Chain A
Amino acid sequence: MSDNYNLRGKIAVVGVGETTYYKHGQSPDPEFVLVLKAILAACDDAGINPKEIDGFCSYSNDRNDPPRLANALGLSELRYSNMQWTSGGGGAAAAVQNAAGAITAGSANVVVAYRGLAQGQFGRFGRSGGSRPVSGGAAYTLPYGMMSAAQMYAMRTTRFMYEHGVGRNAMRSIAMACYHHAQNNPRAVMNGRTLDADTYDASRWISEPYRLFDCCLENDGAAAMIITRSDHAMDLAKAPAMVLGAQQSGGHRSGATVENATDYVTSSFKPAVKYLYEQAGVTPQDVDVVQSYENFTGGVVMSLIEHGFCTYENVDQVLTFDNLRADGGNLPLNTSGGNLAECYMHGLGLQIEAVRQVRGESCNQVPDVKVALANAGPMVAVASTAIYGTPEALG
């Protein structure tokens, strides 16, 4: 692949920020205000004037549209805006990819990747009311009581566990690692609330095979990342996190309705990883710390396998609680607490945590991080995944 068609080394994340993370429905601010606050926090972190922003990227049909944001911020030019379509938070790394692509093409200079959620204002994901008839794909699932995200992905996890003979150990370890890391993270909604194996095992079923602690939170808040050219980044006060690679990932009929994706037993990352590692010029062995999107723990197990961090056969040996800890593990995972224990900001918090690890600013800092990976949205029709690195990682 010609270097002209590669973003590696050209693009950097220079600022990250978020609002206070609230329990769902608890935000005192409207969603749009949360997004503005997150953007200002990310600009402050970057040391840039918000009026330098000239592009916006988001995902999951974010309600806070770029024309309104640009108007509120008083931007003199809006050169680029972009929405990535997929279900859930599968577009978190895609928003970074799209921003990087736009900047590489010269379409914009300073692009914000952002996501805001205020469920008190707009209603919850995990509950479904209503009595109107449903049509389309939902007509084939909802009348059978299959309507929440947990229910869509429980079905896939059952089949994964059956085909590969995988039990609950790795799922339990992932949940425990997330809660463990949240205890050092003052932003985390679950800071102060620990999780041990007995509590996990005794927790109630949401939908078999998922227990309560296999499932992500629902939260209010907003998060933002400032992305720009690497030569611009070098002029700023803080060290940048280089975007080494970023990729969306949908496979053959991964968007088929009624659970008819051709490859059903997948986190949806199989198509992406070859492009991702090739772009980034690294291998799984080079990755020092991993942020893997937990909508549900079963999806994380599949994601880590498909990214090459373990195999179907050695899941139980590699994905242990001790191995997933930032303090001493060989595969530090979700070091902010992630969607399970920091905040469910549709995965943008995991991208931000990868940047913090590369900059040496995590509250669970892994020593000598050069390369960090953060993915988004396992098991959705289109997932996305990105690799960040220090300037030294460019070699």
Chain B
Amino acid sequence: MSRFTSEAHLPGLRQPAPANDGLDAPFWEGTRAHELRVQHCRSCEIHQWGPEWMCHACNSMELDWVTVDPVGQIYSWQRPHHPVHRALSDRGPYIIVLVELPHADNLRMVGNLLGDPLQEIEIGASVSVVFEDHDDGDPDFTLVQWEVTPAS
């Protein structure tokens, strides 16, 4: 369903760190373990993303973290060409996708679409997670990237 790599797609950008209030630490611990975790309400059982201290549907504060299938569908995309960070100056175009997770109430996640940066992108295409490990971070971290799922 997913694979992992230690090759950085966009090296040199600012790294993520868990929020200092503890809100999303389970997500980042999950990616290190190559699991895709999102919030899940113990009371009304909806999935929630991005993370918040309260369930937006029922206002319960009893939220768990659950592991969901690391697969989704492309909901939208863009291809930046203009470098807005010095680490991107010589990078050329790259693709950012917004991926909908059908197994988690269609919540959406942002990541890069790996592969040819000039590939044609199809909204609705099935994609699966590539966990991108950074073992030289402070702290170490793992990003959630995406690639088009090969037709089986």
Interface residues of A (CB under 8 A from B): 126-137, 139-148, 150-151, 154-156, 158-159, 162, 204-209, 253, 256-260, 264
Q: Which residues of the partner chain B approach A147 to less than 8 Å between Cβ atoms? A: 84-85
Interface residues of B (CB under 8 A from A): 10, 13-20, 24, 49-51, 56, 75-82, 84-86, 88, 93-94, 96, 98, 107-112, 123, 137-138, 143, 145
What are 25 A-to-B residue pairs whose CB atoms are below 8 Å?
A133-B137, A133-B138, A134-B14, A135-B17, A135-B18, A135-B19, A136-B19, A139-B17, A139-B24, A142-B14, A143-B16, A144-B111, A145-B96, A150-B82, A151-B84, A155-B98, A158-B77, A162-B76, A205-B79, A206-B80, A206-B81, A208-B81, A209-B78, A256-B56, A259-B108
Closest to B113 in A: A144
Is A258 a contact partner of B110 (Cβ separation < 8 A)?
yes
Distance A133 CA – B28 CA, assembled complex (angstroms): 13
Is B17 a contact partner of A144 (Cβ separation < 8 A)?
no
CB distance from A156 to the nearest CB of B (A): 7
Known: A135-B18, A259-B108, A260-B50. A151 touches B96 (CB 8 A): yes
Is B110 a contact partner of A141 (Cβ separation < 8 A)?
yes
CB distance from A88 to the nearest CB of B (A): 16
Q: Which residues of the partner chain B approach A146 to less than 8 Å between Cβ atoms? A: 80, 96, 110
* 8 other A-B residue contacts (CB within 8 Å) besides A206-B81, A258-B50, A260-B49: A131-B14, A135-B16, A140-B16, A143-B14, A145-B84, A154-B78, A155-B96, A256-B56
Distance A209 CA – B96 CA, assembled complex (angstroms): 12
Q: Which residues of the partner chain B approach A155 to less than 8 Å between Cβ atoms? A: 76-78, 96, 98, 110
Is B86 a contact partner of A129 (Cβ separation < 8 A)?
yes
Is B10 a contact partner of A143 (Cβ separation < 8 A)?
yes
Is B112 a contact partner of A145 (Cβ separation < 8 A)?
yes
Q: Which residues of the partner chain B approach A131 to less than 8 Å between Cβ atoms? A: 14
Contact for B13 among A140, A145, A162, A258, CB less than 8 A: A145
* Max chain A C-beta neighbours (<10 A), residue from B14, B19, B123: B14
Closest to A206 in B: B82
CB distance from B34 to the nearest CB of A (A): 17
Q: Which residues of the partner chain B approach A136 to less than 8 Å between Cβ atoms? A: 19
Contact for B85 among A129, A141, A204, A258, CB less than 8 A: A129
Distance A207 CA – B93 CA, assembled complex (angstroms): 9
Distance A313 CA – B128 CA, assembled complex (angstroms): 35
Q: Which residues of the partner chain A approach B15 to less than 8 Å between Cβ atoms? A: 133-134, 143
CB distance from B35 to the nearest CB of A (A): 16
Closest to A124 in B: B84
CB distance from B115 to the nearest CB of A (A): 15
Distance A259 CA – B75 CA, assembled complex (angstroms): 11
CB distance from A146 to the nearest CB of B (A): 5
Closest to A127 in B: B84
Distance A225 CA – B132 CA, assembled complex (angstroms): 51
Closest to A261 in B: B108
Distance A37 CA – B111 CA, assembled complex (angstroms): 45
Distance A139 CA – B13 CA, assembled complex (angstroms): 11
Is B20 a contact partner of A140 (Cβ separation < 8 A)?
no
Is A132 a contact partner of B108 (Cβ separation < 8 A)?
no
Is B108 a contact partner of A151 (Cβ separation < 8 A)?
no
Q: Which residues of the partner chain A approach B107 to less than 8 Å between Cβ atoms? A: 260
* Max chain B C-beta neighbours (<10 A), residue from A139, A145, A150, A264: A145
Q: Which residues of the partner chain B approach A140 to less than 8 Å between Cβ atoms? A: 16, 50, 109-110
Q: Which residues of the partner chain A approach B108 to less than 8 Å between Cβ atoms? A: 258-260, 264
Closest to B132 in A: A143
Distance A107 CA – B33 CA, assembled complex (angstroms): 57
Known: A162-B76, A259-B108, A259-B110. A142 touches B13 (CB 8 A): yes
Q: Which residues of the partner chain A approach B78 to less than 8 Å between Cβ atoms? A: 151, 154-155, 158, 207-209
Is B75 a contact partner of A144 (Cβ separation < 8 A)?
no
Closest to B48 in A: A260
Is B82 a contact partner of A133 (Cβ separation < 8 A)?
no
Is A159 a contact partner of B14 (Cβ separation < 8 A)?
no
* Max chain A C-beta neighbours (<10 A), residue from B76, B85, B94: B76
* Max chain B C-beta neighbours (<10 A), residue from A140, A144, A155: A144
Distance A256 CA – B138 CA, assembled complex (angstroms): 27
Distance A207 CA – B76 CA, assembled complex (angstroms): 13
Known: A133-B14, A144-B143, A155-B98. A128 touches B84 (CB 8 A): yes
Distance A132 CA – B109 CA, assembled complex (angstroms): 22
Known: A130-B14, A134-B15, A162-B123. A143 touches B143 (CB 8 A): yes
Distance A342 CA – B108 CA, assembled complex (angstroms): 36
CB distance from A124 to the nearest CB of B (A): 10
